[in-house]
């Protein structure tokens, strides 16, 4: 599906973007792979690693609609990964987070429509489900924009969908590199915010593969959620440093005990497929099909029970300490 195609990735120098590029280059022969991000140094470093003739590096900000429109000329597919995603930074700099995550999303939509891009997938997060922090709230607003954009398409062929998933093992600024740093520094303990805390757990490669698959599955308007395991943070700490004391420091601002991917209030919209869920749009699309039970790949989904919630605390699939060790080892080898 990606052979001979032009693909643009906003935030292409980030954890997701680099893995995505690596995977695409291994499996397909795209015509052009365009990296769109702000920092020239990150792009320079990425060019040392990825210098295939199809690679293009564009400096640009998603806040700059004109630049985005120019960058998307003759592009077939867009993956929108650029975001400000640190919860505390978003709380302290709310307008900056809104400009990048919400206004940036609007710009991506307008640029994609203006260039008749075929398909756009925007990355979202479990923090966007019933959000309690600004990062999650901006990502929910972004999700809503991308879903509703299918109604703005008019005569344009462009279709927009969202992929929502949980904690990526080892991504920049996440708990695994934080614990690794403390262990390497010889810390006498690992800080645990709350012994009850759980998180969804996914490797970068699983995230990338899920996004690739959903380009085939999408009609436009879906929020795709993968079925993935949960971990307890205390089990993660034990897996990484079995002999280190675990010291409870209390929950941080904007943090939840458990994350949600499919809220109970959306259960009437949620369909269960073999390896994922789909949140159907709350709105009806004009002059479009509005049935999502069978996706574009021919897979069938069934409605979940009323009140069903996909929550990291009640997830039927939890990893044990040995399983977390294996899982993290695989994630590290893949990175």
Residue ranges binding ligand NAP (CB under 6 A): 10-17, 37-39, 42, 61-63, 81-85, 100, 104, 123, 125, 139, 165, 167-168, 171-172, 174
Directed axis angle between helix 321-334 and helix 204-217, to 10°? 70
Cβ atoms of residues 281 and 289 within 8 Å: no
Q: Which of 127, 139, 144, 256 is catalytic?
A: 127
Residues 6+ apart with CB under 8 A from 200: 126, 165, 166, 167, 228, 229, 230, 259, 261, 312, 315
Distance of closest approach, residue 81 Cβ to ligand NAP, in angstroms: 4
Cβ atoms of residues 206 and 152 within 8 Å: no
Distance of closest approach, residue 97 Cβ to ligand NAP, in angstroms: 10
Q: Are strands 189-192 and 223-226 parallel, antiparallel or unpaired?
A: unpaired
Distance of closest approach, residue 242 Cβ to ligand NAP, in angstroms: 25
- Of 299 and 335, nearer to ligand NAP (C-beta) is 335
Q: Any idea what DSSP says for residue 182? A: H
- Of 171 and 311, nearer to ligand NAP (C-beta) is 171
**Which residues are bridge partners to 161 per DSSP?**
121
181 is an active site residue: no
Directed axis angle between helix 175-184 and helix 233-240, to 10°? 40
- Of 38 and 110, nearer to ligand NAP (C-beta) is 38
- Of 139 and 232, nearer to ligand NAP (C-beta) is 139
Distance of closest approach, residue 304 Cβ to ligand NAP, in angstroms: 22
Q: Which residues are part of the catalytic machinery?
A: 127
């Amino acid at each position: 599906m990606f052979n001979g195609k032009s693909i643009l990735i906003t935030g292409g120098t980030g954890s997701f973007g680099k893995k995505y590029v690596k995977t695409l280059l291994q499996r397909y022969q795209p015509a052009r792979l365009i990296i769109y991000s702000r920092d020239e140094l990150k792009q320079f470093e990425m060019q040392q690693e990825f210098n295939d003739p199809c690679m293009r590096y564009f400096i640009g900000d998603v806040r700059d609609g004109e630049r985005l429109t120019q960058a998307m000329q003759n592009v077939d597919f867009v993956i929108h990964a650029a975001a400000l995603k640190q919860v505390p930074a978003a709380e302290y700099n709310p307008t900056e987070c809104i400009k990048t995550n919400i206004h940036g999303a609007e710009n991506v939509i307008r640029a994609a429509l203006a260039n008749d891009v075929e398909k756009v997938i925007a990355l979202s997060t479990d923090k966007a489900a019933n959000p309690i922090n600004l990062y999650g709230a901006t990502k929910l607003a972004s999700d809503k924009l991308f879903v509703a954009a299918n109604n703005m398409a008019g005569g344009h062929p462009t279709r927009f969908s969202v992929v929502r998933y949980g904690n990526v093992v080892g991504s920049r600024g996440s708990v695994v590199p934080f614990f690794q740093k403390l262990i390497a520094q010889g810390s006498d303990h690992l800080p645990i915010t709350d012994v009850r805390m759980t998180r969804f757990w996914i490797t970068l490669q699983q995230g990338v593969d899920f996004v690739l698959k959903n380009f085939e599955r999408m009609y436009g308007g879906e929020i795709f959620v993968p079925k993935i395991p949960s971990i307890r943070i205390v089990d993660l700490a034990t897996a990484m440093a079995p002999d280190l004391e675990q010291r409870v420091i209390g929950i941080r601002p904007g943090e939840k005990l458990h994350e949600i991917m499919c809220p109970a209030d959306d259960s009437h919209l949620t369909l269960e497929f073999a390896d994922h869920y789909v949140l159907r749009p709350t709105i009806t699309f004009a002059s479009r099909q509005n049935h999502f039970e069978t996706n574009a790949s021919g897979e069938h989904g069934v409605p979940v029970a009323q009140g069903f919630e996909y929550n990291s605390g009640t997830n039927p699939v939890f990893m044990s300490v040995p399983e977390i060790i294996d899982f993290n080892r695989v994630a590290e080898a893949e990175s």
